[in-house]
């Protein structure tokens, strides 16, 4: 199964003509999952190779405007681009994010009279006081929804922290388990871990037939790792006829943060194939970065090391950093500096560093 | 005083890479008034010659997302680009729009933890049942704000229809009177009339001194249009020493509509220098246009004629119409067709027709 990750916006704070606000898409066989949706995401989508109508799930890391202001408009445009199905109701679009997101959508879609062609549900993650300074916490009054559901809204779940894993179990399907974990930011923030199931090795049935062994209980024993003695006396090891297992891929996408919270992030991101982490400012500005709840390349690298990640992708850059292609010689703020700082911090670790840019697509190859 | 009008978005329904969602700016000596604010308006502003920090007033014609979804983000970016004044509080940013707008901003700014450097107030225009089909009316429950004001919010006015003029009096300052009037659309919609005060002729005091008349009560009589007899017996007519009055300019900007409502629009827009009117679809699609609460060029032309407007500017085009510069020979949908249809309908009337495009700036010259 092919998987890739496309960055639609890599700028922090607000969208600019050279860097969109936060949004990225994980695509797997035509299905697209959107992570964050800053203002202008729908236009960035139109400029990309992706189709808005393929978006089936949305994940919002935190409620800052540069990650959220594009969501009502995106839903309207996904709806406009979706063909009605006359014989069957369209599936529900699932949206995951912090408490308060349900009210945000209900009010914005409601007051603008926005009708969708499909149902949607907002599954809210309970935020905890250790995820932000006190002033970043929303009061119950602010987040509580009064009044009727939006006409296309289905009541979503309320997802609590699972204390045994220190993670939020969002869902699992045939292909993936998706969890969230806590981050520290000016407002409660989350990271998401998309873990593909391992693909167990298959029995090489063609080889077995050549060896004269027909389907039956012995197949099950070989699958279970046992040995089998053939009629001709040959002892067949499971390993001889089992293809190797393919470990599932793991993609971890962290929202804005100056720190991780609890054991959840390291557990969930352990051995991630790709760890997407913000790096808003350069190492020299760590104090300012942390004051605003953000990270520097060195801080991102430390998380990647602690997670034993294979590849670190930096994004969410201050708008002072122009994309490489637009930089002029002698520009004060060189985006490549951020890459070098992460690489320096990771020297000898083998962790690969990539700078995200708007419209960059990273293929995520099968592990073998 | 120089005045100009810049279109930041001329597309309907959603922003696309070739047409932004609705937004236009009336600029007068460095002060900018924003009319509608679809998603992406802040990015369009950055691409334009205008400065976000100069926006002092915002007018929202109706609550559809393609006219509103950009407002929370725009306010945040205006705030980021405004320098704090250490000695004096910054002035309040006034926002005018239909009932429901106050809650929209309070919830979106509140849940996203958006802090502004200046205060803002939302002055809500009462909507009436004759402005939309019943399903386009918002319930009291939907629009009523519960809970505290946003930290930077000042309580705005509630503006009711003035039955004698069939208009809403929004405000008047040294230079302008600004009114709103009702339009019919899928949801209640408004148009805005910006009327510059006439500039009364001034007394030519230099000439008077040459003639030997010094300041005194006779100046007042001349100003009032009376005649004065000089000491040498010469009879001085008021017209000889009064400069000519300069009539104020009138700019009228209509939100989405398939019809005007009541007498207000024609009264307010009478002899407008510029009438900005939507033309979402071509005349051939009038039925579809009206069904969606929109107009065709012919319908826009009829309003311009009824108002005796000098210049009709069309905007809010279906995204099927590419900008002139991007059209290819043989393209099915030719934006110039919309212009021709309006011109045909206005033949012989002397009304000039202009197609708006993103980033078009129209100068509005003094009347003489
Ligand atoms: Zn951010
Ligand atoms: Zn943030
Ligand atoms: Zn519209
Ligand atoms: Zn509309």
- Each residue of B290-309: pLDDT tens digit? 999 999 999 999 999 999 99
**Quick check: B330 pLDDT over 80?**
no
pLDDT band at A311 (very low <50, low <70, confident <90, very high): very high
Distance (Å) from CA B289 to ligand 3 centroid: 12
**Quick check: B203 pLDDT over 90?**
no
**β-bridge mates for residue B253, sequence order:** B192, B276
- Nearest chain B residue (CA) to A74: B14
Residue A245 confidence (pLDDT): 85
**Quick check: A329 pLDDT over 80?**
no
Query: For A363, which DSSP code?
Result: E
Residue B5 confidence (pLDDT): 98
The dihedral through the CA atoms of A92, A93, A96, A97 has a sign that is: negative
Question: What CATH code is assigned to A3-198+246-363?
Answer: 3.60.15.10
Is residue B56 within 8 A of residue B31, CB to CB? The reply is yes
B142 touches chain A (CB under 8 A): yes
Task: Count CB-CB contacts under 10 A for residue B263.
Answer: 13
B134 touches chain A (CB under 8 A): no
**Quick check: B101 pLDDT over 90?**
yes
Mean pLDDT of chain B: 95
Q: Where in chain A are all domains bearing CATH 3.60.15.10?
A: 3-198+246-363
Give the number of C-alpha atoms closer than 13 A to the C-alpha of residue A31, restricted to the C-beta side.
11
What is the rounded radius of gyration, in angstroms, for the C-alpha atoms of chain A? 23
Mean pLDDT, range A284-299, rounded to an integer: 98
Helical axes B101-111 vs A101-111, angle rounded to 10°: 160
Mean pLDDT, range B49-71, rounded to an integer: 97
Between A14, A80, A136, which is nearest B113 by CB? A136
Mean pLDDT, range A130-141, rounded to an integer: 96
Chain B contacts in chain A segment 154-193 (CB below 8 A): 186-187
DSSP string, B210-253: HTTPPSSHHHHHHHTT--EE-TTSPEEPHHHHBPPPBPPPEEEE
Residue A1 confidence (pLDDT): 85
Is residue B76 within 8 A of residue B118, CB to CB? The reply is no
Question: Count of CB contacts below 8 A, A vs B?
Answer: 128
Is residue B190 within 8 A of residue B181, CB to CB? The reply is yes
Residue B326 confidence (pLDDT): 84
Nearest CA to B340 out of B366, B321, B364 is that of B321
Beta strand spans in chain B (E): 3-9, 23-28, 31-35, 55-59, 93-98, 120-125, 153-154, 158-159, 168-172, 176-184, 189-196, 228-229, 235-236, 250-254, 259-260, 274-278, 311-315, 352-355, 361-363
Residue B291 confidence (pLDDT): 98
Structure tokens at A105: 């959508």
- Nearest chain B residue (CA) to A20: B43
B363 touches chain A (CB under 8 A): no
Plot region of B188 (φ>0 → left; ψ -120 to 50 → alpha; else → beta): beta
């Amino acid at each position: 199964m092919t998987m890739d990750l496309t960055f639609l916006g890599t700028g922090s704070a607000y969208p600019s003509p050279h860097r969109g606000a936060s949004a990225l898409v994980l695509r797997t066989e035509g299905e697209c999952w959107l992570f964050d949706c800053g203002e202008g995401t729908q236009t960035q989508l139109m400029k990309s190779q992706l189709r808005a109508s393929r978006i089936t799930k949305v994940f919002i890391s935190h409620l800052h405007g540069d990650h959220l202001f594009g969501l009502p408009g995106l839903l309207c445009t996904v709806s406009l681009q979706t063909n009605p199905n006359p014989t069957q109701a369209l599936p529900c679009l699932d949206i995951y994010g912090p408490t308060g997101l349900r009210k945000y959508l209900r009010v914005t879609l409601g007051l603008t009279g926005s009708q969708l062609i499909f149902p949607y549900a907002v599954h809210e993650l309970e935020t905890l006081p250790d995820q932000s300074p006190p002033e970043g916490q929303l009061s119950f009054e602010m987040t509580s929804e009064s009044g009727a559901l939006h006409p296309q809204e289905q009541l979503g779940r309320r997802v609590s922290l699972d204390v045994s894993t220190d993670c939020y179990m969002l869902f699992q399907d045939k292909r993936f388990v998706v969890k969230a974990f806590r981050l520290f930011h000016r407002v409660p923030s989350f990271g998401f871990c998309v873990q593909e199931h391992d693909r167990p090795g298959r029995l090489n049935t063609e080889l077995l037939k050549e060896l004269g062994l027909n389907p039956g209980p012995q197949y099950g024993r070989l699958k279970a790792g046992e040995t089998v003695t053939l009629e001709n006396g040959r002892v067949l090891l499971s390993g001889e006829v089992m293809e190797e297992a393919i470990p599932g891929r793991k993609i971890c996408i962290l929202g804005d943060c100056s720190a991780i919270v609890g054991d959840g992030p390291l557990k969930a991101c352990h051995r991630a194939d790709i760890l997407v982490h913000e790096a808003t400012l350069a190492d020299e500005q760590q104090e300012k970065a942390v004051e605003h709840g953000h990270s520097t390349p060195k801080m991102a690298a430390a998380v990647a090391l602690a997670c034993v990640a294979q590849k670190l992708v930096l994004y969410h850059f201050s708008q002072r950093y122009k994309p490489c292609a637009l930089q002029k010689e002698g520009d004060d703020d060189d985006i490549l500096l951020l890459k070098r700082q992460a690489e320096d911090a990771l020297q000898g670790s083998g962790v690969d560093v990539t700078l995200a840019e708007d419209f960059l697509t990273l293929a995520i190859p099968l592990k073998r």
